[in-house]
Chains A and B, each alone.
Chain A
């Protein structure tokens, strides 16, 4: 079983829609959960990170962690064509090492 699973998509939605992006993981020791956005042939850009369970909001973005289900989500409200990118989740288990363990990334397309 892969440590972090993420549907590669593509996920295509109309402009203005609410987008839900998700990752599941198998290692219950993960403590930090990150979401990165990556435009084509560019480096990952950190959107937000959360520690443990709960929600965190930043503008149009909301990150949600459910540790009991080993499931994390990123919601994008009022999606814009400029949100079209690949969204990667990443996690850290600080009890063993400090490496980012990545999902495969979901390609998101926002249609005008």
Chain B
């Protein structure tokens, strides 16, 4: 069964450092998403991406965040200067259709900022 894969599974970084979280979406999917889940809190939408550009982003997705599809298979989330409050699980998802009604999620990357 096709799946969304994310690397690394756990990343520890110092405050102020840049991190790149990587995702390989399902191959025939066209829409890609990043969500995050702070421990004990709701899943929150960050950004959606289609046709090599951002289609929607939330208030959380400020100038410190960027996304890229560098090579047609990977989908990355970069945080330029991490803050303690960026510590969370980051989930990548992909879907065939524009509405994420059947979005498939990766296993997540646990980001710990110290």
> Which A residues lie at the B interface, using CB under 8 A?
32, 34, 36, 41-46, 49, 88, 90, 92, 94, 97-105
The residues of B that contact A92 with a CB separation of less than 8 Å are 99-101
* A–B complex contacts, Cβ < 8 Å, 9 sampled: A41-B108, A43-B6, A43-B93, A44-B43, A49-B101, A99-B56, A102-B43, A104-B41, A105-B42
Contact status B102-A88, CB under 8 Å: no
Footprint of A on B, CB under 8 Å?
A: 4, 6, 35, 41-45, 48, 55-56, 58, 89, 91, 93, 98-108, 110
A41 partner, pick from B43, B100, B105, B110, beta carbons under 8 A: B110
How far apart sit A99 and B99, CA to CA, in the bound complex (Å)? 7
Residue contact B56 to A97, C-beta cutoff 8 Å: yes
- Please, which residue of chain A has its CB at the minimum distance from the CB of B99? A98
User: Quick check: B42 and A104 within 8 Å, CB to CB?
Assistant: yes
Query: Which residue in B44, B55, B101, B104 is a CB contact (below 8 Å) of A32?
Result: B101
A34 surroundings in chain B (CB, below 8 A)? 101
Known: A32-B99, A92-B99, A94-B99. A99 touches B45 (CB 8 A): yes
Question: Closest 6 interchain pairs by CB?
Answer: A43-B105, A102-B43, A99-B45, A98-B99, A44-B105, A32-B101
* Min CB gap A31→B, angstroms: 9
- CB-nearest residue of chain B to A36: B105
